[in-house]
């Protein structure tokens, strides 16, 4: 019998008293709370032998990790993380001990977390908790009983589980270019945190790939000029340069070892327009192409057993899969799952070492996400973990891809989410942050669904500079902030208006981070197009980016800014909203956290003052204890309620004068 696991069902209350009790103090949550609340389950992870499953879940702003014994989901332990901390990744060292890479949730992207660079550990029964590695090691970040130890100066991540060595895992440190620090590959004892160095990177920001025997002979990273270099060493000798790719010349970096001696899998966009996968021997320079799509980058590899790649996902409007080995047992399983969920994307994300148990994740625009525990031998679904059960009875909007040829002939891909009823609808232009390398995808987006629930069509534009479509498309955005990148958005808005999807007199532009910048740029460059504009954690003064915030603190950050923005101060000011407030007709809302290090609070202060000087008082929402976006669920709910009120005030039927 299949069990569906929800955070408020009696089964969980029976499993551990800690989670019993209502999710809300009183009454049912309103629509905003339902859409903005973080998912109940973030990570579900199988132990390699299939005896346990680890489940991360959230309640009242905190993240918990629960371990259950299979097959009956018998509770073993539950651990609570500190308020601002969660889990980025779980790695099972053995059946009885697991390692955790902590993270903070990204405030403006629900699907993205920011790793802290630490490595924690615990036994399945909750004992022997320890922060094994990290710059804050031993200060109780995993729980009050974590054992103290000396902190480490650098960040780290796990790069190999070393299944044949249950006492150790392979990690690499990450100094992020700080002077005097180069990345290292270390053998980490999973019990006491003692490390032994295996390799020292010849390049400052090197990333290592381990061979199947646990040795480390390949490393890749950027040099001082920003060029990407690949080094290899044979028989434990010195690392030698094998490949150099110039800055903005695409990527060429190692992904996995292979079972073919001397060969590694590399992600490559240096030799072709899109990101593909090749098998490469660094010594002989023999290159064998495994997969490449002519229009889009590959998105994700699926590996089982390690290091066998059985599926490659790419996003061509919708998710698609290529199967390098059609005879792999998961190929038929995947086909069966996709047939069972034809309207969703289905991916197999984890499995036991013997492939008898697997975890699948099912999601789509109208499916916020469900984890499925599978017995691959029958096959059968054993358990379900529903990520947002509170949305199950709420109708969600479909998401459709569109393509637009913009004014200079470039093809721009976007997604539109439509509310019920016939158009034209009031429109929210939702601009993604980043902006380079990030891109909007077909699937469930809580912001877009919330806005559609309140009667708004939502447009998400993958303007030039966005990811997923090759190096040339990515580089086409360099130096184009506020000009061609903005034109792509404007032309796509005009397209959806011409198609009868959007009301030309009721359009608002909104975004976070770069999206906030774009919203205010749109307000001054196209003053008659938008009734309102909202900047959330936005950047409004481009020259200030070279002086304030965490980006210019490192040489790599300065190089990045010079590459994507340019260095001419007059040009930067010409593309900065703060210097053009007098051209803005739209009603403006500015939202910011005072502790923001990426887009310092001074950006919002200057934008507010510029609008005031132009006789336009903006709506102002500031949180004193928030950073680059709001992490507190209470603050997030308050913000989205205010945001919807702002949209309603400016996009309701009636006179066209912004309010």
85-113 pLDDT, tens per residue?
788 899 999 999 999 999 876 555 555 56
Out of 419-428, 481-490, 646-655, which region has the weakest mean confidence (pLDDT)?
646-655
Predicted confidence at residue 141, as pLDDT, reads 44
Predicted confidence at residue 640, as pLDDT, reads 97
More reliable by pLDDT, 310 or 142: 310
Over residues 293-312, the mean pLDDT reads 97
Predicted confidence at residue 180, as pLDDT, reads 53
Count Cβ atoms below 10 Å from residue 393 Cβ, excluding itself.
6
- State pLDDT tens for residues 577-626: 999 999 999 999 999 999 999 999 999 999 999 999 999 999 999 999 99
**Share of residues in the chain with pLDDT > 70 (%):** 89
More reliable by pLDDT, 24 or 628: 628
More reliable by pLDDT, 4 or 104: 104
Judge whether residue 543 has pLDDT over 50: yes
CATH of region 399-651, choose from 3.40.225.10, 3.40.190.10, 3.40.50.1820, 3.20.20.300: 3.40.50.1820
Predicted confidence at residue 247, as pLDDT, reads 76
Judge whether residue 560 has pLDDT over 80: yes
Out of 34-38, 50-54, 551-555, which region has the weakest mean confidence (pLDDT)?
551-555
Judge whether residue 165 has pLDDT over 70: yes
At a CB cut-off of 8 Å and minimum separation 6, what does 237 contact? none
Predicted confidence at residue 449, as pLDDT, reads 97
**Share of residues in the chain with pLDDT > 90 (%):** 76
pTM of the predicted model as reported, rounded to 2 decimal places = 0.88
∠ CA 136-599-621, nearest 5°, is 105
> Nearest Cα to 360, choosing from 369, 102, 456?
369
> Nearest Cα to 483, choosing from 406, 554, 547, 546?
406
Predicted confidence at residue 654, as pLDDT, reads 56
∠ CA 254-255-256, nearest 5°, is 110
Whole-angstrom distance, CA of residue 183 vs CA of residue 154: 9
- State pLDDT tens for residues 242-255: 999 987 788 999 99
CA-to-CA dists, residue 439 to 26, 163, 368, 401, angstroms: 38, 35, 19, 13
CA 645 to chain centre: 28
At a CB cut-off of 8 Å and minimum separation 6, what does 202 contact? 182, 219, 231, 238, 239
Count Cβ atoms below 10 Å from residue 283 Cβ, excluding itself.
12
Predicted confidence at residue 63, as pLDDT, reads 85
Rg over CA atoms, the chain: 25
Out of 39-43, 551-555, 592-596, which region has the weakest mean confidence (pLDDT)?
551-555
The pLDDT confidence band at residue 1, using thresholds 50, 70 and 90, is very low
Predicted confidence at residue 136, as pLDDT, reads 55
- State pLDDT tens for residues 648-659: 999 987 544 444
The pLDDT confidence band at residue 144, using thresholds 50, 70 and 90, is very low
Whole-angstrom distance, CA of residue 243 vs CA of residue 254: 11
List the chain domain ranges.
399-651
Predicted confidence at residue 137, as pLDDT, reads 54
- State pLDDT tens for residues 274-288: 999 999 999 999 999
Predicted confidence at residue 106, as pLDDT, reads 58
Over residues 527-533, the mean pLDDT reads 98
């Amino acid at each position: 019998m299949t069990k569906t696991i929800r955070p408020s069902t009696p089964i969980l209350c029976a499993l551990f008293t800690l989670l019993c009790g209502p999710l809300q103090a009183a009454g049912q949550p309103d629509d905003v709370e339902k859409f903005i609340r973080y998912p109940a389950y973030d990570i579900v992870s199988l132990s390699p032998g299939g005896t346990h499953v680890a489940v991360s879940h959230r309640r009242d702003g905190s993240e918990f990790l629960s371990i259950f014994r299979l097959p009956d989901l018998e509770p073993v332990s539950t651990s609570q993380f500190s308020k601002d901390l969660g889990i980025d990744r779980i790695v099972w060292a053995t059946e009885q001990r697991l390692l955790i890479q902590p993270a903070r949730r990204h405030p403006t992207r629900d699907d993205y977390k920011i790793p802290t660079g630490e490595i924690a550990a615990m036994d399945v029964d909750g004992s022997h908790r320890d922060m094994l590695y990290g710059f804050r090691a031993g200060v109780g970040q995993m729980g009050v009983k974590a054992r103290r130890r000396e902190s480490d100066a650098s960040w780290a991540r796990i790069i190999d589980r070393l299944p044949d060595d249950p006492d150790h895992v392979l990690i690499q440190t990450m100094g992020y270019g700080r002077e005097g620090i180069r990345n290292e590959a270390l053998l980490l004892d999973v019990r006491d945190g003692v490390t032994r160095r295996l390799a020292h990177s010849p390049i400052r920001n090197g990333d290592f790939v381990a061979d199947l025997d646990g040795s480390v002979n390949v490393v890749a990273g950027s040099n001082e000029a920003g060029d990407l270099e690949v080094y290899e060493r044979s028989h434990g000798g010195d690392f030698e340069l094998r490949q150099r790719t110039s800055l903005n010349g695409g990527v060429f970096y190692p992904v996995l070892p292979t079972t073919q001696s001397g060969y590694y899998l590399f992600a490559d966009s240096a030799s072709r327009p899109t990101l593909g996968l090749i098998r490469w021997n660094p010594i002989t320079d023999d290159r064998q192409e495994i997969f490449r799509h002519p229009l889009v980058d590959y998105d994700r590899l699926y590996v089982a057993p390690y290091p066998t790649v059985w599926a490659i996902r790419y996003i061509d409007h919708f998710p698609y899969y290529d199967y390098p080995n059609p005879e792999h047992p998961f190929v038929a399983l995947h086909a069966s799952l996709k047939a069972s969920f034809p309207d969703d994307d289905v991916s197999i994300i984890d499995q036991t070492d013997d492939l008898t148990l697997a975890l699948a994740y099912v999601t789509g625009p109208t499916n916020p996400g469900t984890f499925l525990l599978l017995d691959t031998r029958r096959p059968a679904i054993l358990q379900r973990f529903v990520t947002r059960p509170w949305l199950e009875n709420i109708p969600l909007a479909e998401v459709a891809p569109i393509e637009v040829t913009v004014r200079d002939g470039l093809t721009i891909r976007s997604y539109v989410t439509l509310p019920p009823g016939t158009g034209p609808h009031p429109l929210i232009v939702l601009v993604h942050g980043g902006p380079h390398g990030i891109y909007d995808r077909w699937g469930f987006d809580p912001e877009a669904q919330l806005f559609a629930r309140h009667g708004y069509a939502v447009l998400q534009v993958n303007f030039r500079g966005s990811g997923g479509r090759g190096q040339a498309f990515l580089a086409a955005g360099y130096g184009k902030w506020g000009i061609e990148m903005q034109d792509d958005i404007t032309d796509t808005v005009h397209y959806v208006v011409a198609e009868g999807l959007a009301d030309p007199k009721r359009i608002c532009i909104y975004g976070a981070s770069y999206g906030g910048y774009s919203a205010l740029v749109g307000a001054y460059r196209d003053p008659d197009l938008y009734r309102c504009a909202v900047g959330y954690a936005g950047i409004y003064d481009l020259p200030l980016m070279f002086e304030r915030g965490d980006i210019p603190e490192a040489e790599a950050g300065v190089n990045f800014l010079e590459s994507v923005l340019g260095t001419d101060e007059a040009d930067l000011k010409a593309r900065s909203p703060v210097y053009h407030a007098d051209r803005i007709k739209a009603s403006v809302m500015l939202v910011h956290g005072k502790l923001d290090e990426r887009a310092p609070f001074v950006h919002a202060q200057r934008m507010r003052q510029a609008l005031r000087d132009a006789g336009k008082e903006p709506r102002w929402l500031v949180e004193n204890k928030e950073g680059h976006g709001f992490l507190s669920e209470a603050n997030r709910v308050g913000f989205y309620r205010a945001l919807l009120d702002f949209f309603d005030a400016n996009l309701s039927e009636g006179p066209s004068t912004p309010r």
